[in-house]
Structure 1
Amino acid sequence: MTLYQAIAPERASRFSPMDVLAVVAGSLLLTLSAKIQVPFYPVPMTMQTLVVIGLGLALGPVRGAAAVALYLAQGAFGLPVFAGTPQKGIGLAYMMGPTGGYLAGYIPAALLAGWLARRGWDRNVFTAMAAALLAGAVIYVPGLLWLGAVIGWDKPVLAFGLYPFIPGDIAKAMLAAIAFPAAWKWLSDRGVN
């Protein structure tokens, strides 16, 4: 069971208005997270990957991935949802740039986080940290492959697209490892399992 399943009211069907609301709210939260930059060393960070992983952990694999897919679709249609995009989004052109692979990695990351949450990995600090780190690592596979294809493999792809982001990803995984077990404890204290 995921957090969403623990707190959502009983549903008569597999796809309810509450599910639609959760997916839309998740895509809006992801948009907001893209626009907030946190000063960090060695590079400033957005909270997008934390929200992607959090959506998987909270909503489960299907709803979490659906929220991410909706966010990506909004960006593809030109809405200014991505980090650093102007008021009028640039759609597919942005997605085809150096960050496109990372964006593509958001869906499998949410799926993996949700799959792990269904197995209870979000209820313990250590397993929640592991789930967040594993899901975060999934983003780098298409991200680095795409980055190498865009900028050329003769460039130091890992130095540009991986190493500077590791400290921030560890910090975000620690936040997830604190937040999700605490949410489960809070629900448990109120008799919700």
Structure 2
Amino acid sequence: MTLERTVFAIDRIWRPRAGAPEGLRVAALAVLGSLLLWASAKIQVPFWPVPVTLQTAAVFLIGLACGPRLGLATVALYLAEGAAGLPVFAGTPEKGVGLPYMLGPTGGYLAGFLAAAWIAGRAAELRLRLPALVGMLLLASVAIYVPGLLWLSTFVGPEKAVQLGLLPFVLGDLVKLLLVAFVYEAALRPKDEGTSSRH
């Protein structure tokens, strides 16, 4: 008995080729994904009550498009690039680089990206459709906020952590989450999932 390999959106964009080294393709995809995360951290979109970056949207899209394992590996590579001193995070190099930056007030959110990418990838692996897909992305958002707020609270206390690290960003993150879900559903979902997809 052989188990059918799950087909993710990235497999439609860059198809595996017979005889070609799969490890090379996976490594290249992880590097490209880390570059997307880098770019998304630097793009600020005017929003109310504060501007937002596209980084959480990129984390969700990478997980959905690549699946849980490659999505997790891509975010891990991105964090490794940051730990090595590359200015890949929002606010770098102005606010520092490397491990000192990662151990600063926003470090918990960065750690949460790992779990968020995996959760989004599981949503794709389980072939969830709307609204279950939105529910999983909400869970992925929680996976970012929980370690982020816990770590931030060690610097400013729990009440200030919520005021500074949650309330200003909830609306923007919800909008990004919904946009990602609808973009994935409309344009990225593998077309052969058919009726086996779960609602």
Match of 1:146 in 2: 151
TM-score by length of 2: 0.85
Residues 24 and 70 of structure 1 are in contact (CA less than 8 Å); yes or no, is this contact kept in structure 2? yes
Match of 2:117 in 1: 110
Query: 2 CA distance for matches of 1:5 and 1:60?
Result: 10
Query: 1 CA distance for matches of 2:76 and 2:151?
Result: 19
In the alignment, does 2:187 pair up with 1:183? yes
Give the 5 Å matches for 1:73-84.
73-84=80-91
Residues 41 and 90 of structure 2 are in contact (CA less than 8 Å); yes or no, is this contact kept in structure 1? yes
Deviations 1:105-152 (A, max 9, x none): 00011011111210012xx34233222222111101110110011223
In the alignment, does 2:27 pair up with 1:20? yes
Give the 5 Å matches for 1:129-140.
129-140=134-145
Counterpart pick for 1:4 among 6, 10, 18: 10
Name the amino acid aligned to 1:59: C
Q: Which runs of 5+ in 1 are unaligned?
A: none
Counterpart pick for 2:173 among 169, 175, 178: 169
Match of 2:75 in 1: 68
1:87 and 1:149, CA in 2 relative to 1: closer, same or farther beyond 3 A? closer
Residues matched between the structures, number: 187
1:12 and 1:113, CA in 2 relative to 1: closer, same or farther beyond 3 A? farther
Match of 1:54 in 2: 61
1:88 and 1:156, CA in 2 relative to 1: closer, same or farther beyond 3 A? closer
1:22 and 1:192, CA in 2 relative to 1: closer, same or farther beyond 3 A? farther
**Aligned-partner SS, 2:131:** helix
Match of 1:92 in 2: 99
TM-fit CA distance, 1:17: 1.3
Deviations 1:5-51 (A, max 9, x none): 34422455894211111110000000000000001111110010110
Residues 16 and 22 of structure 2 are in contact (CA less than 8 Å); yes or no, is this contact kept in structure 1? no
Name the amino acid aligned to 1:182: A
Query: 1 CA distance for matches of 2:90 and 2:97?
Result: 12
Query: 2 CA distance for matches of 1:96 and 1:58?
Result: 29
In the alignment, does 2:178 pair up with 1:159? no
Name the amino acid aligned to 1:51: A
TM-score by length of 1: 0.88
Q: Considering only aligned residues, what root-mean-square deviation do their CA atoms show, in Å?
A: 2.3
**Which ranges of 4 or more aligned residues in structure 1 deviate by more than 6 Å?**
none
